[in-house]
Amino acid sequence: MILDDKRSIGLLGAISIGVGGMVGGGIFAVLGEAVSLAHGATVVAFLMAGIVALFTSYSYAKLSVKFQTKGGTVSFIDEAFGHNYLSGSVNFMLWLSYLVTISLYAVAFSSYTQALIGTSSNILNHLFITIAILLPLLINLISASFVSKSETIIVVIKVLLLILIIVASFTYLDFERLSPSKWEGSFSILVAGMIIFVAYEGFELIANSAEDIKNPKSNLPKAFYSSVLLVIVLYILIAATTIGAVSEDKLLEAKDYALAIAAKPALGQIGFTIVAIAALLATFSAINATIYGNGRLGYILAIEGELPTFFNKERDAIPSLSIIVTALFSIVLANSINLSQIAIIGSASFLLIFFIVNIAALKLHKEIKANKYLSLISCIISFIALITLLIHTYMQNRQSIIIFLVFIFISILFEVLYGKFVRKQIFNRKYK
pLDDT at 149 (0 to 100): 60
Residue 64: count of CB within 10 angstroms of its CB: 28
pLDDT at 361 (0 to 100): 94
pLDDT at 377 (0 to 100): 95
Confidence of residue 124 (pLDDT cuts 50, 70, 90): very high
pLDDT at 323 (0 to 100): 85
Statement: residue 430 has pLDDT above 60: no
pLDDT at 143 (0 to 100): 64
Statement: residue 432 has pLDDT above 50: no
Residue ranges of domains in the chain: 4-292+339-421
Look at the domain 4-292+339-421 and name its fold: Amino acid/polyamine transporter I (1.20.1740)
Confidence of residue 1 (pLDDT cuts 50, 70, 90): very low
pLDDT at 373 (0 to 100): 94
Confidence of residue 113 (pLDDT cuts 50, 70, 90): very high
Collapsing DSSP states into helix, strand and coil, what is residue 317? coil
Predicted TM-score (pTM) of this structure: 0.84
Question: Rounded CA gap, 385 and 408, in Å?
Answer: 18
pLDDT at 310 (0 to 100): 66
105-123: average pLDDT: 89
Statement: residue 276 has pLDDT above 80: yes
Question: Bigger pLDDT: 75 or 309?
Answer: 75
Most confident of 23-32, 34-43, 96-105: 96-105
Least confident range from 43-57, 307-321, 342-356: namely 307-321
Task: Name the residue among 280, 289, 290 with its Cα closest to residue 346.
Answer: 290
pLDDT at 60 (0 to 100): 94
Mean pLDDT for all residues in the chain: 83
pLDDT at 58 (0 to 100): 94
